[in-house]
Amino acid sequence: MKKSLREETEKLNENIREKNMKSLEENIKKVEIKRMKKIIDEALENINVSVEEWVEDVKESRSMR
């Protein structure tokens, strides 16, 4: 981090490490969700099942547990 930015954040009493960690966690979660959506879309295309049918099947299987 640039010295001038560090000094400014210290003056403002900002916890940069905490904010950076939170931002990283949010970005990782977004990337994981995007990746999962892509995998699910590809799988649904290959098995010729609509999203609605798939969701219904998932709900049904959960209720059986």
Give residue 38's domain range.
22-65
Residue 46 lies in a domain: yes
Residue 62 lies in a domain: yes
Residue 37 lies in a domain: yes
Number of domains in the chain: 1
pLDDT digits (tens, 9 = 90+) for 33-57: 999 999 988 887 888 778 888 889 8
- The pLDDT, as a whole number, for residue 35 is 96
Residue 16 lies in a domain: no
Region 8-12: mean pLDDT is: 79
Region 5-10: mean pLDDT is: 80
Residue 1 lies in a domain: no
Residue 44 lies in a domain: yes
Mean per-residue pLDDT over the chain, rounded: 86
Angle between helices 16-47 and 51-64 (to 10 degrees): 100
- The pLDDT, as a whole number, for residue 1 is 67
As given in the structure block, the two tokens for residue 51 are: 């999203």
pTM value is: 0.54
Please report where in the chains the tokens 């990337």 appear, as a residue.
31
